[in-house]
Amino acid sequence: MRYLDNVYKQSDISWFTPVEIFKPWYAHAIAEAIMRTANFSVPLKIYEIGGGSGTCARGIMDYIMLNAPAKVYNSMTYTSVEISPSLAEVQKETVGEVRSHIPKFRVECRDAADRSGWGDVEQQPCWVIMLEVLDNLPHDVVYSASQISPLMEVWVERQHDRESLSELYKPLQDSLVTRCVEILDLDKTRTTQSSAVSTLKSIWSKVYPKPRRCWLPTGCLKLLEVLHEVLPKMSLIASDFSYLPDVKIPGERAPLVSTKKDGSSTDYQNYMEAKGDADIFFPTDFWLLERIDHYCSGWLKLQDNHSSKKGKKRRTITLETSAFMEEFGLPTKTRTKDGYNPLLDDFKNTKFYLSVPTHNIK
């Protein structure tokens, strides 16, 4: 902990991802998970969304070079989809330190959630990796004043003084927000109750109104809709925070908003106070992530229509990070002399989500 504390104090970066802290072992575990389930009859194709400094790409390619059959490594391609031009350059340098990786690796500097950047649909199996991507994707907020009030979109507007911001509530109209509400089934209680129950609820809500505020992962929905469209046979590995400690901002799935100065972090009580230099982390609701995944694959829509009893199009599992690392990694490499193992014992608030296509394609 002292070592990490010193690293943070010497750096402008407010936090390092686990793949950086535990290199190369963290990336090696991901590579092992891919190798155990990949179809080697076709060339291995990997996409990484938001590849950071290239540590994950380098670790995975190193592992495959050393542990997979030569034909797998020689025919593989690894594409990083990176929105930041400066990080794209860093990734090229990191991976380029191994000369044999260079022809197999490329960086596409673009927004992965923009359909136009992907070109034609990729019909071959492939892998998509997203490490600590979901926590930074855009979210929307919906609000209801009481148990029976309709959900409203939350907008932010600038006040007349042009400095301060305030919230504005409007009826649901944004299509991403509406679809997120649909997937979450937030409206189900309002439509499936008897009139007696509804009357009681109406009286109760007037006496004890209970406002509700929900943060919706609309950026995740948009990204997965695009990925399912352009990479219908993708296998997905995502890792992220399942909860965040000491969140001061109200609402379900509310973010941690903090800023760093002189090596120490300060958390904001209100997201509208954070301007310019704040870090925003959202917790990932892995149950909701699975529902969004099934929705984007087309299966959840079919179930809701009750028109089909066909099987799921995705086989999914959510694992604690420690369970993932014990299954696919080499925990002995990170065990300390007294038995403490930061790879397994730290980052208890992170999980892995694995999703692979089934044969139920119709």
In tens, the pLDDT along 289-305 reads 999 999 999 876 655 55
- pLDDT score recorded for residue 175: 95
On whether residue 210 sits in a domain, the answer given is no
- pLDDT score recorded for residue 304: 55
Total structural domains within the chain: 1
134 vs 301, higher pLDDT: 134
Q: Which domain holds residue 132?
A: 1-137+217-244+282-361
If 0-12 CB within 10 Å is exposed, 13-18 middle and 19+ buried, where does residue 247 land? middle
- How many other C-beta atoms are found inside a 10 Å radius of the C-beta of residue 289? 24
Angle, in degrees to the nearest 10, between helices 286-297 and 218-230 = 40
Token pair, residue 31, equals 């590579």
Q: Are 289 and 220 in contact (CB under 8 A)?
A: yes
Cβ neighbours for 292, distance < 8 A, ≥ 6 positions apart: 183, 217, 220, 221, 224
Cβ neighbours for 42, distance < 8 A, ≥ 6 positions apart: 124, 125
Preceding peptide of 217 cis, ω within 30°:
no
Q: What is the DSSP string of 166-208?
A: EEEEEES--HHHHHHHHHHTTTHHHHSS-HHHHHHHHHHHHHS
pLDDT tens for 201-250 read 666 556 566 788 999 999 999 999 999 999 999 999 999 999 998 899 99
On whether residue 195 sits in a domain, the answer given is no
On whether residue 202 sits in a domain, the answer given is no
Token pair, residue 45, equals 């194709």
315-344: average pLDDT: 94
Answer yes or no: is pLDDT of 116 > 80.
Answer: yes
Query: CA–CA separation, 167 vs 270, rounded Å?
Result: 11
Half-sphere exposure of 119 (CA within 13 A, CB side): 4
Q: Are 212 and 189 in contact (CB under 8 A)?
A: no
DSSP state of 37: H
On whether residue 328 sits in a domain, the answer given is yes
- pLDDT score recorded for residue 321: 97
Which has the closest alpha carbon to 351: 243, 252, 221, 219? 243
Select, from the ranges 16-30, 192-206, 308-322, the one with the highest average predicted confidence (pLDDT). 16-30
**Quick one: what percent of the chain has pLDDT higher than 70?**
88
Hunting for tokens 């199009």 — which residue is that? 313
Domain with residue 23: its CATH number is 3.40.50.150
Q: Describe the strand order of the beta sheet including 140-144 as a list of residue ranges.
A: 165-171, 152-158, 140-144, 212-216
On whether residue 43 sits in a domain, the answer given is yes
Cβ neighbours for 261, distance < 8 A, ≥ 6 positions apart: none
- pLDDT score recorded for residue 260: 76
On whether residue 184 sits in a domain, the answer given is no
The DSSP bridge pattern shows strands 105-109 and 77-82 to be: parallel
Which has the closest alpha carbon to 134: 58, 221, 192, 59? 221
First to last CA, the chain: 51
Largest CA-CA distance found in the chain, in angstroms, rounded: 72
On whether residue 18 sits in a domain, the answer given is yes
Cβ neighbours for 287, distance < 8 A, ≥ 6 positions apart: none
The radius of gyration of the chain's CA atoms, rounded to the nearest angstrom, is 22
Q: Are 56 and 27 in contact (CB under 8 A)?
A: yes
Q: Are 167 and 155 in contact (CB under 8 A)?
A: yes
On whether residue 352 sits in a domain, the answer given is yes
H or E segment and range at residue 297: helix 286-297
Query: CA–CA separation, 191 vs 200, rounded Å?
Result: 15
Amino acid at residue number 356: V
Token pair, residue 346, equals 């730290």
111-139: average pLDDT: 96
